[in-house]
Structure 1
Amino acid sequence: MSNLKDKVAIVTGSGRGIGRDIALLLAKEGAKVVVNDLGGGSDGQGNDTKIADEVVQEIQDLGGDAVANYDSVADYESASNIIDTALSRFGRLDIVVNNAGILRDRMLFKMSEEEWDTVIAVHLKGSFNMTRAASTIFKEQKSGRFIHFTSTSGLIGNVGQANYSAAKLGIVGLSKSTALDMARYNVTSNAIAPFAWSRLIGTIPTETEDEKERVERLKQLSPAHIAPLVAFLASDEAADISGQIFGVRGKEIMVFSQPRPIRSVFNAKGWSVDSLSAIKGSLQSSFTPLEASAQVFPYAPLV
């Protein structure tokens, strides 16, 4: 396999889980890979450099080329250091996969400012930091691929994840704006919502039978299912795909709709509170149900 021969990729958070499988497949497809990972826990605490080193060794054992990086995506200067690692080791950069993430789940009325700020910093600001640092390189060379990771927690919603949901929906906006800003330079930007068992979603509560059943279904979803779509979007074959939101659920790949007006009402005299109350039903039939991700995807995954 050589769909990415001579390409250079950065995969953030690639020491474990989804990121690790992405790094391994990109390397198998011929890319040189920067394996970025702090080696922290699911909450972002701690630091273990051997986590990234082990993935680098796996890639090298398979005949690929990789280098480890331990910088934090949440810091603007550190993100630039990750980019510099690719340039100093491999001399170029073609692909940025914004996968790094943490969780600090808490009901909104109990969430601390620190729990909000930390999750936003890693997911949303981290994705911006990496995208901003790479964008000047991609602009200059008139080519590049950004692949961001969103979540149905943001696209649909989840209980106890206001920080994570806000960050993940924000990433969709970042990806779309990046696609628009960079289109003239032959740079694409897409987002993926993954369904896969990882240490992050291992924090899902299992207090009820329904919750236990859902977790057992999720455990069937390997992170390896996500990697082929990432490798495809990173290739020259996907040069005409940008600004899209994909989902991968086992062996099922989906494309998500994006917000567009679906129904409107007009009043030549302008609206008052009373007149809006009178026509509420005209719009209400088109309201989106208040659902969490598990209610939209209750069916068994295709594994």
Structure 2
Amino acid sequence: MTQRRFDGRVAVITGSGRGLGFEYARLLASLGAKIVINDNGSALDGSGADTSVAQQAVDQIKAEGGEAVACTESVATAEGGKAIIDAALDTWGRIDVLIHNAGNTRFDPLDEITHEAFRALVDVHMMGAFNVVRPAFPLMKAAGYGRVVLTGSIGGIYTMPQTVHYAMSKASMIGLNNAISVEGNEFGVKSNVILPGAVTRMAEGIDTSQFPPMDPALVAPMVGYLAHEDCAISAEIYAAVAGRMARVYVTETHGVWHKDWSIDSVAESMDAIRDPSNNLTFHPAEGGFGAHLGISFGMVGS
């Protein structure tokens, strides 16, 4: 079997000095990709910086026969995002793959969280994604090719206590993913979301003693496929947790139409409204918005 490779491709991977991002970088580099290792070496809560983290990752990839450069700019600002993409252009003159993996974590109860604590995560996860996608997207569009992988989380789908900032940030990847896919579809730009599960330093403070093996290397193959030129899918979400891989998607029930509604009729129809026996699933990159309206409008008068 011919192994899928990345020869001639340039990949920018944010937060790739350690953990999941580094495993993605190692895998793609081992298959011929040129890698921008972006990591400012911050602490788990996003504070501080250590510029040696990115360089150490670069050194290891080079020692393993790969090609990489370090960029220590922060994704949290528009200027930093542009500088990260520019690192690929300045070194190799192109960008083919963008994997937004940079993230931080902290726990704050909803009834106590400060705006500063909220922004500490939103600026890295959500704004960080936009800050690197914004300068990369027009380059990919002009080149007629691009692969984007955004990092969501089951915490953005199902959520844990005391993580409102994390949950909102990770859920926002769905909207950005759809926007890239819808606007990039005719230009060969594909985008998908990975929901990774692995024991890294971000699991600090969580009891993982009963967890099965959850090495970051178990997640990397899915990310590698989503980043590869053979990947024809777009606007989709994939979970990779402890060796299990699955597609996650939004669906809706068939629903109920009435000419007139009241609070009481909504209450009386709720079982039928919620009935999952005839679900509808629309695909963003394949006209999902219009298909949803078409079904809704088509029920009028039925």
Q: What is the TM-score of this pair, normalised by structure 2?
A: 0.87
The residue aligned with 1:276 is: 266
| In structure 2, C-alpha distance between the alignment counterparts of 1:66 and 1:223, rounded to whole Å | 20
The residue aligned with 2:100 is: 98
| In structure 2, C-alpha distance between the alignment counterparts of 1:101 and 1:282, rounded to whole Å | 41
CA deviation map 1:42-97 (0-9, x unaligned): 10011001111110000111111110000011100110001111111112111000
The residue aligned with 1:292 is: none
1:111 is paired with a residue of what secondary structure? coil
Gapped runs of 5+ residues in structure 1?
205-211, 287-303
2:88 is paired with a residue of what secondary structure? helix
Whether 1:244 aligns to 2:236 is yes
The residue aligned with 2:256 is: 265
Whether 1:53 aligns to 2:46 is no
Asked if the contact 2:18–2:53 (Cα under 8 Å) also holds between the matched residues in 1, the reply is: yes
What is the Cα deviation at residue 2 of structure 1? 6.4
CA deviation map 1:186-226 (0-9, x unaligned): 0100000001011112233xxxxxxx4xx224462001111
What is the Cα deviation at residue 233 of structure 1? 1.6
1:236 is paired with a residue of what secondary structure? coil
Whether 1:216 aligns to 2:209 is yes
1:81 is paired with a residue of what secondary structure? helix
The residue aligned with 1:174 is: 176
C-alpha change, 1:218 and 1:202, in structure 2 (3 Å) is farther
User: Superposition RMSD on alpha carbons, in Å?
Assistant: 1.5
Asked if the contact 1:2–1:28 (Cα under 8 Å) also holds between the matched residues in 2, the reply is: no
CA deviation map 1:153-201 (0-9, x unaligned): 1112221111101110101111111111101110100000001011112
1:191 is paired with a residue of what secondary structure? strand
What is the Cα deviation at residue 279 of structure 1? 3.1
| In structure 1, C-alpha distance between the alignment counterparts of 2:211 and 2:126, rounded to whole Å | 25
| In structure 2, C-alpha distance between the alignment counterparts of 1:39 and 1:113, rounded to whole Å | 24
| In structure 1, C-alpha distance between the alignment counterparts of 2:256 and 2:7, rounded to whole Å | 53
The residue aligned with 1:122 is: 124
| In structure 1, C-alpha distance between the alignment counterparts of 2:43 and 2:134, rounded to whole Å | 26
1:53 is paired with a residue of what secondary structure? helix
Whether 1:184 aligns to 2:186 is yes
| In structure 1, C-alpha distance between the alignment counterparts of 2:137 and 2:257, rounded to whole Å | 42
Identity %: 33
What is the Cα deviation at residue 107 of structure 1? 1.4
Q: Which amino acid aligns with 2:253?
A: I
Whether 1:148 aligns to 2:150 is yes
Structure 1 segment 56-75 matched on structure 2, within 5 A: 56-75=58-77
What is the Cα deviation at residue 257 of structure 1? 2.1
The residue aligned with 1:200 is: 202
Q: Which amino acid aligns with 2:24?
A: I
Asked if the contact 1:9–1:34 (Cα under 8 Å) also holds between the matched residues in 2, the reply is: yes
Q: How many pairs does the alignment contain?
A: 274
| In structure 2, C-alpha distance between the alignment counterparts of 1:284 and 1:190, rounded to whole Å | 28
Structure 1 segment 29-40 matched on structure 2, within 5 A: 29-40=31-42
| In structure 2, C-alpha distance between the alignment counterparts of 1:69 and 1:28, rounded to whole Å | 20
| In structure 2, C-alpha distance between the alignment counterparts of 1:202 and 1:141, rounded to whole Å | 41
C-alpha change, 1:285 and 1:184, in structure 2 (3 Å) is closer
Asked if the contact 2:61–2:67 (Cα under 8 Å) also holds between the matched residues in 1, the reply is: yes
| In structure 2, C-alpha distance between the alignment counterparts of 1:90 and 1:217, rounded to whole Å | 45
> Which of 78, 81, 84 is the equivalent residue of 1:82?
84
| In structure 2, C-alpha distance between the alignment counterparts of 1:280 and 1:59, rounded to whole Å | 56
| In structure 1, C-alpha distance between the alignment counterparts of 2:243 and 2:20, rounded to whole Å | 15
